[in-house]
């Protein structure tokens, strides 16, 4: 079926991805959307369900479809019954807003109650199947089940559920199809004969979500600025894009930190270059940035992590073709303007670089595994750090060999609101406690040093 094009200004982001899903659905096919953490899978599936989007893409055919968005974070229990209950619950909610035969709706309600309170365990799948049969045969629309946050459910519940879904799809091919959104390809997440038949439904229709294209990313930035009543300059937007690289989650983090700087009036104290340099330092030690990057790093396989580590050590060394394709599909590596591969943004590149240092296991110096929260000095683990000690270390580690002044320390450790309350003595005591744990000779520090009148820095080996 030919899909109508949508003007890019009519929808915030991912018009091509929406078109892909609706094209597959219009052709009666199932499809799989794969994207790493916070890449925008949920926003995409919810966008597909919006009435105005369906109308603009499908035109007069829009009323021939019933899109049912299902968030598996809302599943009451990780069981077959929990799965069927959630699907029927969302199906009922969607049909209640459509012009549906009341007899069909009443029957579906009865079957839903039978799934929730079955007279015996066999009634759960039987009632679910009868409900899907009633809808597939009596609704007069193609039902599209959009499975969001599906990874844990797919890996955790009984395989017979997916065999049953495959059987329903085979029986009602023209009336029922599935769209799944996961962080990993289904066939890579779970194996087995029951699972294989379900995975076959998506084998030829897998779409990887990339980082946002520049125009879409700018729309996200401008929307954030509008909601927060901020005025980002074109240079500000370029800075945000360079740091976040079009990753939706990181875009928001950078926008928030930049917005806080502008709102505080601090930006007036520095030149533009100085302001961006300070922001880069803060982003490197920001807890939200580290958390977001850690999620992305953990989405990679060990082989992919090792490949990125090797790539950062020598960008000209060839990557194994399969690994290269996977890293590019997931947008961890992208092509720059010169056509050369590079990490998708500076924040993730900096995080991956620190992982490279950890993996290389250099024996001398201070090393931090940000994911595990572990710290080594000269190859030996250090005593457990307090929360304040760890925050201070992350600031200094993110600015290795650079001086961090009092204001940076207070903001990173206690928070910006404490700038006027934390004095030099309090900072000095915290530095002293951290030095006792990470410096072999605290009285003659080798790594955590005081630069008189300017601040503190962590020295590399």
The reported pLDDT for the residue numbered 358 is 64
The reported pLDDT for the residue numbered 86 is 97
The reported pLDDT for the residue numbered 461 is 67
Nearest 10 degrees: CA dihedral of 367, 372, 374, 380?
-70
Higher pLDDT, 387 or 74: 74
Average pLDDT, the chain: 88
Higher pLDDT, 70 or 294: 70
The reported pLDDT for the residue numbered 11 is 41
Summarised one tens digit per residue, pLDDT across range 358-380 is 666 555 788 887 766 678 887 67
pLDDT above 60 for 318: yes
Domain-embedded: residue 357 = no
Q: What is the CATH number of the domain that holds 417?
A: 1.10.10.10
C-alpha span between 302 and 294 (Å, rounded): 14
Of all residues in the chain, the percent with pLDDT exceeding 90 is 58
DSSP assignments along 226-259, one per residue: HHHT----HHHHHHHHHHHTT-HHHHHHHHHHHH
pLDDT above 90 for 37: no
The reported pLDDT for the residue numbered 167 is 96
Domain-embedded: residue 265 = no
Of 208, 235, 265, the one marking the end of a domain is 208
Phi then psi for 405, rounded to 5 degrees? -85, 180
The reported pLDDT for the residue numbered 255 is 94
Domain-embedded: residue 153 = yes
Of 187, 208, 229, the one marking the end of a domain is 208
C-alpha span between 365 and 377 (Å, rounded): 6
For the chain, the domain total comes to 2
pLDDT above 50 for 4: no
Domain-embedded: residue 204 = yes
Summarised one tens digit per residue, pLDDT across range 433-457 is 999 988 888 888 889 999 888 899 9
The reported pLDDT for the residue numbered 10 is 38
Domain-embedded: residue 454 = yes
Q: What is the CATH number of the domain that holds 68?
A: 3.40.50.300
pLDDT above 70 for 179: yes
The reported pLDDT for the residue numbered 338 is 83
The reported pLDDT for the residue numbered 313 is 82
Domain-embedded: residue 80 = yes
Of 156, 191, 208, the one marking the end of a domain is 208
Domain-embedded: residue 324 = no
The reported pLDDT for the residue numbered 3 is 42
Of all residues in the chain, the percent with pLDDT exceeding 70 is 94
The strands making up 65-71's β-sheet, listed across from edge to edge, are 65-71, 142-148, 176-182, 31-34, 206-208
Across 402-411, average pLDDT: 90
SS3 328: helix
Range of the domain at 178: 8-208
Domain-embedded: residue 404 = yes
Buried-exposed string 164-194: b where 16+ CB fall within 10 A, e elsewhere: bbbebbeebeebbbbbbbbbbbbbebbeeeb
């Amino acid at each position: 079926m030919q899909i109508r094009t949508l003007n890019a200004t009519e929808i915030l982001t991912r018009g091509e991805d929406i078109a892909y899903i609706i094209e597959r659905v219009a052709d009666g096919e199932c499809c799989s959307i794969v994207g790493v953490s916070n890449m925008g899978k949920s926003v995409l599936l919810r966008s597909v369900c919006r009435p105005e989007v369906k109308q603009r893409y499908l035109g007069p055919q829009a009323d021939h479809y019933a899109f049912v968005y299902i968030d598996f974070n809302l599943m009451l229990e990780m069981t077959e019954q929990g799965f069927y209950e959630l699907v029927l619950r969302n199906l009922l909610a969607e049909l209640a807003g459509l012009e549906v035969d009341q007899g069909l709706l009443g029957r579906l309600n009865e079957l839903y109650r039978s799934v929730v309170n079955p007279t015996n365990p066999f009634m759960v799948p039987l009632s679910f199947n009868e409900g899907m049969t009633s809808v597939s045969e009596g609704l007069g629309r193609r039902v599209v089940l959009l499975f969001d946050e599906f990874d844990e459910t797919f890996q955790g519940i009984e395989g017979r559920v997916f065999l049953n879904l495959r059987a329903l799809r085979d029986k009602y091919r023209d009336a029922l199809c599935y769209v799944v959104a996961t962080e990993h390809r289904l066939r890579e997440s779970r194996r087995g004969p029951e699972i294989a038949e379900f995975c076959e439904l998506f084998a030829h229709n897998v779409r990887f979500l990339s980082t946002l294209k520049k125009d879409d990313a700018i729309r996200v930035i401008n929307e954030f600025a509008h909601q927060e009543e901020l005025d980002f300059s074109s240079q500000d937007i370029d800075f945000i894009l360079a740091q976040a690289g079009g990753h939706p989650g990181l875009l928001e983090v950078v926008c928030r930190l930049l917005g806080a700087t502008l709102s505080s009036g601090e930006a007036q104290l520095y030149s533009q270059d100085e302001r961006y340099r300070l922001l880069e330092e803060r982003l490197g030690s920001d807890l939200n940035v580290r958390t977001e990057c850690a999620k992305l790093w953990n989405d990679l396989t060990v082989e992919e992590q090792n490949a990125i580590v090797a790539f950062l050590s020598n960008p000209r060394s060839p990557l194994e073709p399969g690994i290269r394709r996977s890293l590019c599909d997931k947008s961890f590596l992208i092509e720059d303007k010169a056509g050369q591969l590079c990490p998708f943004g500076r924040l993730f590149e900096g995080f991956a670089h620190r992982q490279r240092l950890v993996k290389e296991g250099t024996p001398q110096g201070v090393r931090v595994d940000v994911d595990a929260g572990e710290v080594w000095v000269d190859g030996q683990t250090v005593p457990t750090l307090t929360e304040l000690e760890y925050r201070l270390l992350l600031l200094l580690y993110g600015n290795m060999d650079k001086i961090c002044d009092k204001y940076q320390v207070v903001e990173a450790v206690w928070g910006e609101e404490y700038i006027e309350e934390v004095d030099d003595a309090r900072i000095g005591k915290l530095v002293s406690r951290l030095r006792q744990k990470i410096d072999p000779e605290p009285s003659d520090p080798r790594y955590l040093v005081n630069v008189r009148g300017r601040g503190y820095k962590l020295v590399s080996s």
